[in-house]
Structure 1
Amino acid sequence: MIMTSYIQTGLRLVAAFFVFVTLLAAPAAAQVTTGNITGRVADAQGNVVPNASVTARSKATGRSRTTTTNDVGEYTLADLPAGTYELSVEAKGFSKALLSELELNVGATVTQNFDLKPGEISETVQVTSEAALLQTTTSELGRNITPTEVRELRPVGNFDPTKTRVGNIGFNGGDGRQLDVNVDGGDNKDNVVGSLLQNFAYESIQEFQVLQHRWTAESGRSVGAVVNVVSKSGTNEFHGSLFGTYRNEKLRARDFFEKQSPSDPKPKFNREEFGGSIGGPIKKDKLFFFAAVERFRERQNILVNPALLPEIAAIPGVTASPTIPTPYNDTLLTAKIDHHISDRQSMFYRYSFQKNDSPNDQFDPSQPGDLSNGNTNNNKLHSFVVNHTYTFGPTSLNQFSFQFQRFQNDILSVTTNPNIVFPSVQSGANVNVPQETIERKLQFRDDYSFQMGNHALKAGVNYINTKLGGFFFFGANGYQVIFFDDPLTIKNNLNGKYPQGFATPGAVNEITFSTGAGDTSQSPFHQLALYLQDDYKVTPRLTLNLGLRWDANIRLLVPQTNNRTMQILKQLNDPRARAIAGDAGAVARTTPSWREFQPRVGFAWDPKGDGRTVVRGGFGIFYDQ
């Protein structure tokens, strides 16, 4: 009943929101995959030219968008896909102005002014554009990593220990949970531990934007930064790429520790990384394809502390090895179709897949006595995004996107032996494996934009349904044997306490046995966001960014009704089990807050009007997930 009430309340809010948007006639698109071109059209004497036609044509796909200047000669081409454009301006009594190349990055607002010359429209005047100095119409602070820079990036960063080699990123002193990551408009945030969820093939990334300080209402669910990533698309020309790297121990220099024993052979090492991409037209100017694949293989060994080898060899049934292999395999795939249905509407479909496995990936040489962390980490990730863009007219546009994403992580033990613990060393299966994490995500996002005079109005709704499943419980392995002394001491009776070796009564300090299974139930939670945004150009030099956002997190935690503790109590026929099980689950649910209203105010001021100096500022309230 409580859950039904939550959903009904949320649906009422959504309905009211769309009524408000309809009254405004203000469809708007959040700039997670697009950018804006804006500017002013005047004559040679500086007089504004209203009703001039401004057209942007993509040089990659041939798709064009047209708008007209308002009464003060200003125009805005909102929510254009990132890329290179040809820009032209036509007005009665003036020659056509043509700018052959203008680069538009994701999330950017590029200002391009035109001074028209008297003449016939049939005449064309070539216009040159200076490199953009600063963005003068937004209060946000961030950085665009262009396609050229993406190709030159090197792998860096900390790693999230819960997923194999997935970067864990933090901004402004925050952790991974305080970061919002979008890929082609789809949420790519891990709702279990935060940070990134899925990796993508290197050749599939066109560019991305990092916003460290933002004062608009379009982004939320984080108090840190926002990262917007755009994947590559096919064009009117066929393009492809191939790459590969190979490295082994003979091509690798010794590190500091290996230099201390230069006569010892280098540890075995082998790394291969290769892949490629291909893209082009299926039907010129209409239908395009793109695909990228990447494969990574690594083979290396981690040294075991030599002082422990005699102790390990003394354990019955255990073979001592001076090294532990830590192989890693990773496969990444992305495929994308772009369809320009008409001058008014277009769609794209993108599917991405990742699969990796890494035996012994959690073995930590800094804990030389713990050999029980040799688990096998297996990951499978699928994501599918559909995006539909519809242009109502020169001043209004709608963008709808849907995403399905599924992540499955299985951590298994490389052995079925019980966990055996000695003071100096432990081996066998980790006591907390097997474990599994399943995360299924459905996302619906709709954004609208409308240009009304000096006001760029935006409104949007974002709904994410996430179902978390799998299992994790302490003592999952079920068996743990703890000895008083080290293996050699017990085997050789070095202190006279163990005349029968390991069979001596009292050699074992503790035996732990667990039964039952973890709770594998899956419980969905809901995230709902609404926003309104008005970017008001008060003067050509001053822009105000005014917005209001509302977020709700519904049923965020998973109820626990069938965990291992409940199972054990039931097996013991403990009367407390019924009482505890009757209440279990309710305490784990969170009560949604309907009061997370977040006003945002920002400004950008160009004091000289030359784009060389910009004063920015802002205020906002932000809520984490």
Structure 2
Amino acid sequence: MGFIRSFTFSFSRLGRTVLAVAALCSVSASTASAQMSASVSGIVTDPSGATIAGAEVIVKNAETGLVRITSTNASGRYLVLALPVGAYGITVTARGFRGPVTRTEIQLVIGQEAQVDFQLTVSGPETTIEVRGDVSAVNTSTRDISGLVGEQQVKDLPLNGRSYDLLMPLNPGIVNFTSQKTGGTGISNSTTANNFAVSGNRPQQNLFLLNGVEYTGAAENNMQPGGTSGMLLGVDAVREFNVLRDSYGAEFGKRPGGQVLIVTQSGTNQLHGALFEFLRNNALDAPNFFDQGDAPPFQRNQFGASLGGPIRKGKTFAFGSYEGFRQHLHQTSVAFVPDLASRAAAVPSVQPLLNLWPTPSASDPDFSGIAEVFSSPLQTIREDFGTARVDHIFSQKDTASAIYTVDDGNDFTATPLNPFSADVMTLREQVLSLEETHVFSPSLLNNVRFGFSRAGYFFTGEPTPGTPAVNVPGFLVGLPVGAVVVGGSAASNPAATLGLAGSNNGSNLSIARNLFTFEDRMSWTRGRHQFNFGLWLQRFQSNENIALSQYGQATFTSLQTFLQGTASSFLYNPAPTRMNWRSLFGAWYVEDVIRLKPSLTISLGFRDEFTTGWNEAHGRAANYTYTNGVIDTAPRIGGSLFTANNAKFLPQPRVGIAWSPFGRKTVFRTGFGMYNDLQDALGYRADQNAPFNPVYSIPNFAVSKFPIDPAAPVPATAKLVPGGVQPDMKTPTLISWSLRVERELSLRTSLTVGYIGSHGYHELIGIDANEPFPVICPASPCPATYPAGFGALAGTPVPTGTFFVPTNVRANPAIANTWTWFSTGDSSYHALQVDANHRFSSGFSLRGVYTFSKALDDGDSLNATTSGGGPALASNPFNLASDKGLATYDVQHMLSANATYQLPFGRGQRYA
């Protein structure tokens, strides 16, 4: 656990002490600019219940003084859209009625449409009536805010590493998948982020929106945001966030998983800020099973400051935040290395490679030529996060904001399986948001947003400096030594006979992703109808060099063949080429929110998404096609990776219903929608194809032939190893439906019970496209044998007439086996979700959620690193149903609970 020291100082909350306790355990529609804002509506009536038309309604932000004025329509209803989150007061005045009447301390949260009704009394002595109190805990609109993680939780709940996305599982239906994947967060070339499965969707299918603009990461195949620490820093810059988990409205798209809507803090009319430092070290750490003596050294410092306030009161506001992360960690690991006898038996050509592992001592445990070596190599991480925001109120009809966020870091980590091999990463993520909201009239509003997102990433694996491994000659002339795999199938395979040695097979990788986004949303209210229209365009650029095997990888089937210097295969890319991928993503949508009566609201929406495909800026898109079902020997080359763009028209209907038949304390909500997963991370497979990034496999390669000149002719025995994607790929699609019942138990307490289901198709799945076709076993003896696990039958021929897949041939013998992504996967999810929530009141909040679910698919791993122990490739590409089973992120029972209690001491408290 370690010793944790922290201090904070807040100008706005001086003397306030908060005690937060959290427990998390796993057992076994829309309005214009509603993405990042809130709205308020209600009905004004007289004492008899008759509605009052023409009443003036003034909505005022208590923090900035922003004022919006409207009036009730013929039905006595008012609606105010696109309000920044925060505390509000609402004042209603009507001719012939006593007033004005004001309700204060109304807290609006992200995505909320609060229902605030007023009942006016008949004329009498002029007086001002003020009522304090928040809105009902029950949401009577079609909008879903049940995934809200509010300001109180974000600031007060304890977080290991202060990564606020770790609060996402406080909501039902969300599984933290990070600990289940192989590889360490912050050191993997596959992802730098925490992984969450939302409502049965893959972690790669979530979308993070920071102030309405996509917050992208950069890695091989998972673009979720996260720094080199593996954390999502900036908790002091975040006001609140909402996770839309399923059946959301037509304004949301690009991904079918969770839509994580994050709102940063802003300046107000009051100066507010904080200073903080959090220290964690090994002072109280107990040694674990592998530690040799005391717990190894560890120190983590997180420090920073934030400050916000007015530049011009009531007009212009500024906010800034900085957080630094520094970590020095020694983590004990066990490396499996050649023992002293094996080293003595190695042929001369292998002797230099033995320096890629630590030399064991005579006292180290020894197992048939392999020794265990314990070590505590150093991991160092530096990460810096900053946010700057400016908001300006031009008038009651015009507001604007500009927000810039940057996260920059690097790390150096010795691999868990060998202290002589290290991973090095640098990463910078940036998001810029420019937004303007204009109110043409109380019934017509427009919001326009420009966004720019950039993520730059570099990853390499190399021998650890200061060790003998740095002097080992490279496999390719002029390059560092490559990867050595002994008794395993991949350079990072933890089941290998010996620990990974040399460089990671995915070394010298770099990506620079640029997303240019334009978005315009308009809302028009007319009678019972609220029409919403939107246009979203995103220009995508990915300039990347992520070809594998740039330093080469030598694979040995066993320790014996390694000591003899005979590799079963040697992979290398003699001429890696940087690729420049381009695409245009777009969508338009229309939606009609119909309030048929006060107890019934229906949302009917339609969204159409499209892309221009996956295109290389210089015509270097290489991809393999198929003739009569057999992969061709040479790839097709052109400007597009696809032979046909099947993403020109992606229709997505969306429907939502909110019904309160027994009054507003009970609400039934149901939703249905189609969602697509627009592909913007295909480079991991698209960058592995000849002729621009050829990867060759040389069988039965002698170590004595190293080094190879990359410019020399390729040996005649070498075969190309294709990558690529399905040339006529379909866009992954999800159909989602839900039914929830929400009941108000008290003004601030609610209970929600719901069923959520979904079906996904055209999901990406890894397949060996060069598998031979199944054939019928001929007369005895059959060349196919029973696999291990069949007891006495293992290794014996299967009966004549059995279908089998030959293992010693390929469909196209001119090339090697492939790792190709096909859009042929299926998935399903069904869940019961329960959510009991007591909102913060009188210094106390409490929430508990439970999910009983099952997630099924026929494969969800895009590479071995993120497979979480599941198969990375389809076992039988001719019968994908044979792989159908529980998803790698399936957790049948999930329970999460959190509570916050504010001690009654300090300014404004009972015991001041």
Q: TM-score, normalised by structure 2?
A: 0.57
Return closer, same or farther for 1:461/1:562 CA change in 2, 3 Å cut-off. closer
Cα displacement (A) at 1:103: 0.5
Return closer, same or farther for 1:237/1:486 CA change in 2, 3 Å cut-off. farther
Letter in 2 for 1:197: P
The CA distance in 1 between the partners of 2:125 and 2:442, in whole Å, is 21
Does the alignment pair 1:68 with 2:34?
no
The CA distance in 1 between the partners of 2:332 and 2:622, in whole Å, is 37
Q: 1:88 aligns with which of 81, 91, 99?
A: 91
Alignment coverage as a number of residue pairs = 561
The CA distance in 1 between the partners of 2:555 and 2:648, in whole Å, is 51
Cα displacement (A) at 1:337: 0.6
Return closer, same or farther for 1:393/1:70 CA change in 2, 3 Å cut-off. same
Q: 2:271 aligns with which of 215, 231, 238?
A: 238
Q: 1:127 aligns with which of 122, 131, 138?
A: 131
Cα displacement (A) at 1:118: 2.6
**Equivalences for residues 96-495 of structure 1 within 5 A:** 96-119=100-123, 123-129=127-133, 131-138=135-142, 140=144, 142-153=146-157, 154=159, 155=163, 156=166, 157-159=176-178, 161-162=188-189, 165-189=192-216, 193-194=221-222, 196-197=224-225, 199-255=232-288, 257=289, 264-305=293-334, 308=337, 316=352, 320=358, 322-360=375-413, 363=415, 365=416, 368=417, 374-415=422-463, 417-419=480-482, 421=484, 423=486, 424-478=498-552, 480=554, 485=559
Cα displacement (A) at 1:145: 1.3
* Alignment gaps of 5+ in structure 1: 1-26, 491-505, 567-578
Cα displacement (A) at 1:152: 2.6
Cα displacement (A) at 1:70: 0.5
Does the alignment pair 1:595 with 2:643?
no
The CA distance in 2 between the partners of 1:313 and 1:61, in whole Å, is 73
The CA distance in 1 between the partners of 2:505 and 2:644, in whole Å, is 30
Match of 2:245, SS state, is: strand
Letter in 2 for 1:296: F
Identity of aligned residues (%): 24
Please say if residues 559 and 587 of structure 1, whose CA atoms lie closer than 8 Å, have aligned partners that are also in contact. no
Q: CA RMSD in A?
A: 3.1
Which residue of structure 2 lines up, in the alignment, with residue 55 of structure 1? 58
Cα displacement (A) at 1:377: 1.3
The CA distance in 1 between the partners of 2:571 and 2:395, in whole Å, is 66
Q: TM-score, normalised by structure 1?
A: 0.82
Please say if residues 398 and 449 of structure 1, whose CA atoms lie closer than 8 Å, have aligned partners that are also in contact. yes
Please say if residues 247 and 672 of structure 2, whose CA atoms lie closer than 8 Å, have aligned partners that are also in contact. no
Letter in 2 for 1:61: T
The CA distance in 1 between the partners of 2:438 and 2:357, in whole Å, is 66
Letter in 1 for 2:578: T
Does the alignment pair 1:556 with 2:619?
no
1:94-113 Cα offsets, whole Å, 9 max, x none, are 21001121000010111011
Please say if residues 248 and 268 of structure 1, whose CA atoms lie closer than 8 Å, have aligned partners that are also in contact. yes
The CA distance in 2 between the partners of 1:624 and 1:565, in whole Å, is 21
Which residue of structure 1 lines up, in the alignment, with residue 581 of structure 2? 523
Match of 2:194, SS state, is: strand
Cα displacement (A) at 1:207: 0.6
Match of 2:337, SS state, is: helix
Return closer, same or farther for 1:113/1:296 CA change in 2, 3 Å cut-off. same
Cα displacement (A) at 1:541: 0.6
Match of 1:350, SS state, is: strand
Please say if residues 217 and 455 of structure 2, whose CA atoms lie closer than 8 Å, have aligned partners that are also in contact. no
1:108-158 Cα offsets, whole Å, 9 max, x none, are 111011011233795211124354121112164632111111113424344
The CA distance in 1 between the partners of 2:295 and 2:217, in whole Å, is 38
Match of 1:583, SS state, is: strand
Cα displacement (A) at 1:62: 0.4
**Higher helix proportion (structure 1 or 2):** 1
Match of 1:213, SS state, is: coil
Please say if residues 390 and 398 of structure 1, whose CA atoms lie closer than 8 Å, have aligned partners that are also in contact. yes
Match of 1:166, SS state, is: coil
Letter in 1 for 2:596: V
Return closer, same or farther for 1:400/1:131 CA change in 2, 3 Å cut-off. closer
Please say if residues 141 and 212 of structure 1, whose CA atoms lie closer than 8 Å, have aligned partners that are also in contact. no
Cα displacement (A) at 1:519: 2.5
**Equivalences for residues 533-552 of structure 1 within 5 A:** 533-552=591-610
Letter in 2 for 1:222: R
Cα displacement (A) at 1:515: 5.8
Return closer, same or farther for 1:253/1:309 CA change in 2, 3 Å cut-off. farther
Letter in 2 for 1:45: S
Match of 1:250, SS state, is: coil
Return closer, same or farther for 1:82/1:44 CA change in 2, 3 Å cut-off. same
Letter in 1 for 2:387: T
Cα displacement (A) at 1:48: 1.2
* Alignment gaps of 5+ in structure 2: 1-29, 167-175, 179-184, 227-231, 345-350, 359-373, 464-469, 471-479, 487-497, 625-632, 679-912
The CA distance in 2 between the partners of 1:121 and 1:147, in whole Å, is 41
Cα displacement (A) at 1:356: 1.5
Return closer, same or farther for 1:419/1:582 CA change in 2, 3 Å cut-off. closer
Please say if residues 388 and 405 of structure 2, whose CA atoms lie closer than 8 Å, have aligned partners that are also in contact. yes
1:570-621 Cα offsets, whole Å, 9 max, x none, are xxxxxxxxx9587355444651433322222221111122x21111112222
Instruction: Report the more deviating stretch, 373-382 or 333-342.
Output: 373-382
Return closer, same or farther for 1:439/1:87 CA change in 2, 3 Å cut-off. same
The CA distance in 2 between the partners of 1:457 and 1:121, in whole Å, is 41
Match of 2:548, SS state, is: coil
Please say if residues 426 and 459 of structure 2, whose CA atoms lie closer than 8 Å, have aligned partners that are also in contact. yes
